[in-house]
Amino acid sequence: MSEPRSVFITGASRGLGLASAAHLYGLGWRVVGGMRSPAEGLERLRAATGAAADDPRLLAVRLDLNDADSIAAAATEVLQLVGAPDVVVHNAGIAAAGTVEEVPIRVWEQIFSTNLFGPVALTKALLPSMRAAGRGRIVVLSSAGGIAGMPSVAAYSAAKGALERWAEALAYEVAPFGLGVTILVAGMFKTDIITDQTPHYGDHHGPYAVQYAEIDRRGRSIIRLASPPERFARALARTLDERAPFARHAVGLDARLLLLASRVLPARVLRAVIRLVMGLPRQGALRAGARTPVTSSTPKELHG
């Protein structure tokens, strides 16, 4: 019998990573989950899959994408466990809410470290073995923020946009060696990143209060439409047999619509659509001396 294909998934202890690891295990893959607390995370995976404690198809390694030594150690352990992985899924990521002016630089640095620099370092550590094997696919998770800059999550948007450009460049470089790269633009799914667990650095009574109020109001309505992580996992599985050197797919109706709009609408029109959808004030509306826009969710003390 041939060995099962192997996949290394970062951030596999919860959310999309957990759902993806469990689904691929169920399809017969040998799954290695990268996580900060492997003992606890592996128990979650076993509970989700029904796998036995000694099942060699479900493994975990410690991985902290903010720690260079942890990344190097995780890559070494993956190679010892499964050899060159058939697929690497860069799923782990963090976000923070707040305007550019209000989010501290240290938070920007942490977001870029986890969402971009960590995946780059991990890929660099695994690429020699994958090149030597002459096969493999690298999958990176993007989002709406990678398609267009989104207000109040600028740091997250910037990191995802950079991640996409890196993945595109990487695809050119590794294609001659038989490797491929896939970008999955994930829409809204029920994970920690869209819940109140995402840290918020905005001052809701400061200069951007009107914008926060409307974004939060509309966001709460949209979150109710978020899909379960298992739906993303099924979409991920369908992309892993691709042979194209580079592919980009939207997962979720909202992601598909935004990706389509970004391709067919002029930038000026797309920006206007995003502003209207998010309920942002028009240009100059908050200038000194202008009447404060009133929305259904603007705090009473801010009403003009």
Alpha carbons 41 and 128: distance in angstroms, whole number:
28
- Taking residues 278-282, what's their average pLDDT? 92
User: Is 109's pLDDT higher than 50?
Assistant: yes
The residue ranges of every structural domain in the chain are 6-302
CA dihedral 293→270→218→108, nearest 10 degrees, is -90
Separation of first and last alpha carbons in the chain? 73
Catalytic residue among 25, 156, 208, 212: 156
Q: State residue 299's pLDDT score.
A: 40
Identify residue 110 by its one-letter amino acid code: Q
Tens digits of per-residue pLDDT, 53-97?
Answer: 999 999 999 999 999 999 999 999 999 999 999 999 999 999 999
Tens digits of per-residue pLDDT, 25-55?
Answer: 999 999 999 999 999 999 999 999 999 999 9
Alpha carbons 223 and 190: distance in angstroms, whole number:
8
Query: Considering only CA atoms, which of 106, 109, 180 is closest in space to residue 139?
Result: 180
Alpha carbons 46 and 190: distance in angstroms, whole number:
21
Q: 292 pLDDT band (50/70/90 cuts)?
A: low
Q: State residue 29's pLDDT score.
A: 98
Tens digits of per-residue pLDDT, 18-30?
Answer: 999 999 999 999 9
The CATH fold assigned to 6-302 is Rossmann fold (3.40.50)
CA dihedral 225→229→234→237, nearest 10 degrees, is 130
Alpha carbons 304 and 289: distance in angstroms, whole number:
11
φ/ψ region of 11 (left if φ > 0, alpha if ψ in -120 to 50, else beta) reads: left
Which ranges in the chain belong to alpha helices (H)? 15-26, 38-49, 68-82, 105-112, 118-133, 144-147, 154-174, 209-223, 229-239, 253-264, 267-278
Q: 207 pLDDT band (50/70/90 cuts)?
A: very high
This prediction has a pTM of 0.91
* Residue whose structure tokens are 């990521």: 93
Alpha carbons 232 and 236: distance in angstroms, whole number:
6
> Is 212 among the catalytic positions?
no
* 192: Cα within 13 Å, side-chain hemisphere: 14
User: Over the chain, what is the mean pLDDT?
Assistant: 92
Q: State residue 160's pLDDT score.
A: 97
Edge-first strand listing for the sheet containing 246-251: 58-62, 30-35, 6-10, 87-90, 137-143, 180-186, 246-251
Q: State residue 300's pLDDT score.
A: 37
Q: State residue 201's pLDDT score.
A: 93
Q: State residue 194's pLDDT score.
A: 55
Q: 196 pLDDT band (50/70/90 cuts)?
A: low
Q: What is the DSSP letter of 228?
A: P
User: In percent, how much of the chain has pLDDT > 70?
Assistant: 93
